[in-house]
A and B are shown apart, each in its own frame.
Chain A
Amino acid sequence: MQAALSVEKLTKKFGEFTAVNGVSFDVEDGKFFSILGPSGCGKTTLLRMIAGFYEPTEGLIRIRDEDMTAVEPNKRPVNLVFQHLALFPMMNVYENIAFGLKRRRESDSRIKEKVGSILERVGLPEHSKKKIDQLSGGQKQRIAIARCLVLEPSVLLLDEPLGALDAKLREHMKIELKKLQSMVGTTFVYITHDQSEAMVMSDHVAVMNAGQFEQIGTPQDLYHNPNSSFVAQFVGNNNKLPVKVHKDEGGAFLARYLDGKDYQVDGTPDLSEGDEYDMFIRPEAVLINPSTSQSIPNTMNCDVKAILFDGGNSQLLVIPEGADQELIVTLPQNKQFDDIKAKDTIRIGWNPGTAVCFPKTELKIYDEA
C-alpha cells in the first residue's frame, strides 16, 4: 500500500530545547493514525511541521512521495483542524467551508455543490446560513472538519479537536469521527493526550514521550504488548508493582514483591537476575477469589480499602497483605461479587502471562483527562 504520509528522522529544536527528536513513521493511505502522548511531549510541534508552520531542524516529510520541504502551508495537500478549531467568526458556516475552495478559484456553482454535499456528510445540511457562535460545541467540531475535508486533502491533521468538549459529548464525537473517517476514506493523523480517544478511533497509534516515539502499533498491540514502562502505564490502566527478580532451582524467573513472596513471571523474556523491575498487571487481568480449579499460580490476600462503584467501570481499591501499596482491581458487575464490602479480606490472582516487567523507572505519568 502507498504511504499517504511518510516522516523520516524529524527533529525540531527551539533554541537548546529539543521538542521533537528523530521521529519516523509512515501512514498508509486511508488509515486513522493517532499520536498519543502527555501534554508538552511535542505532538503539536510535530503536527505543525507536517502542516508547514514550523520548519524542521532536521528530517524529511513526504506526502504521497513528494518532498514537502520547500512547500508553503497554503500549497500543501494537507489540512489542519486546529486545537481551538479557528472557525472564522466573521463568516457564516457556508463561507467558512467555501473559504478554501474560493482560494482555489473554483466556480460558484461547484463551490455551492461541494459545500452542500460536505454539510450533508457531516449531518448539518440545514446549517449553512448559521453564524459560528450559533453552533454548539459538537457542531463547530464538525464544521471545522468539513472545512478541511471539502478540500479533499491527502492527509487531514487533527490537533486534539475533542479537547474542549464535555465528557459525554466527547464520547459521542469519538464514534462520530471514526464513522466519518471510514465513510470519507481520508487519511487522518490525530493527536491526543487521551488514550481512550486514540484506542477507540485508530488503526495505528504511536505513543510519544518527551519528543520521541516509544512504540507504534495497533491499539490491541500496544495494550497487550507494550514495549516500555511508559507505554504500559500510558495505554490503558495498569498496576505497577516494584519487584526484584531472581531464579529458582529450575532456572525460571521469579519476582519478589514487597510482601516478601515470590510470583511467577513469563511475559518478559530478557530479565536479568538481581535487578529491580516494575511489574505491570492490568486491573482487568486480576481475578477476584479465583477458584482452585482455575489453577492460578499467582495469588495474594488483600484487604479491600474501598469500592469505587462506577457502573460497568467499577473497581476495587485493595492493599496486599504485607505490602504498603494500593492496587486497582476491576470489579465485574455480574452479581458474583456483590457481597464484597470495604475492610473485607479477599484473594486475588493473575496468570503470569498477563504481567509484564520493565526495568524500574521513576517515571511519573500525568494524564489530565
Chain B
Amino acid sequence: MELEDIIKDENIVFKKTKLLNDKPLSYCPGCGHGTVHRILMETIEELGIDEETIGIAPVGCAVMAYEFMEIDMQEAAHGRAPALATGIKRVYPNKYVFTYQGDGDLAAIGTAETMHCCNRGENILIIFINNGIYGMTGGQMAPTTLEGAKTSTSPYGRDVSTMGYPIRITELIAQLPAVRYVTRQSVHTPAAVRKAKAAIRKAFEYQSEGKQGTCFIEFLSNCNSGWKMTPAQANKWMEENTFKYYVPGDIKDNFKLLKNPIIE
C-alpha cells in the first residue's frame, strides 16, 4: 500500500493544524510556548476565523511566533502589543485580534499598555504566558518570579523586601469593569491542555459578538531551561509551587467575578 492510500480522511484520527507550518519551533524541548501555539492555532482553524484574525507577537521567547503561525501578524516592541492590538481593532472592529505576551513583556515593561487596554475593554484576546522568568534573555528575574526563587538576577533568591512581591497581574486585571473573561490555565498535562483550549475557544466566541470587553487568559508555563530543570521536573515544580501562589481556574466570566481564593 502507498502512503496516499493510507492517508485518507476516514483513517485520520489526528492531524496538525494547517495554521502551524513545518518549521522547527525555536523553543526548548518541553517548553509550554509550543503547546500554547498549537492549541491557539487549532482553535482559530476550528472556528474558521483564520482569514479575519491578526495576531501580535511580543518580545520574549515568542518573538518569532509569526514564523510559525500561518496568519497575518505584527511584531511589537517589548510590552507594546496591547497598544498595537488597540490600534488595529479600532480601525477593524470586525476582525479578530489577539496578543501573545510573556510575563516580562506584559507585567513589567508593558504594564501600562496592558492595564489601559483592558480598562478600555478593547474587544481582543490577551494570551499571557507566565513562566516566572525572562526566558529569552537567559533567565533573569521576572515580576512574577516567586519569593525565594533563584534567577540570574536574584542569585540568592527573590528577596521581597528589596525586589517586591511576585505580581498577580491577572487578579488586578480581573478587577477592571470592562474586562469580560479572565482565566488562569496551564498546558502541562493532556487534561490541562483540553481545558485551556476550551478557554481560548470561549474567548474568541466572546470576541465574535463584537462588544466591548477584553478576554484575558493566563497560562502558567514552565521554562525548563531558565529554571535549570528537565521538562518533567519543571512541570512537577510548577504544580507544587507556582499553582499555590497563582491558583489555576476561572477568575471572571462575562464581566462577573467568580470565587477566587486570592481575591477573597
Bind each other: no
Using a CB–CB cutoff of 8 Å, the interface residues on chain A facing chain B are none
B residues sitting closer than 8 Å to A (CB atoms) are none
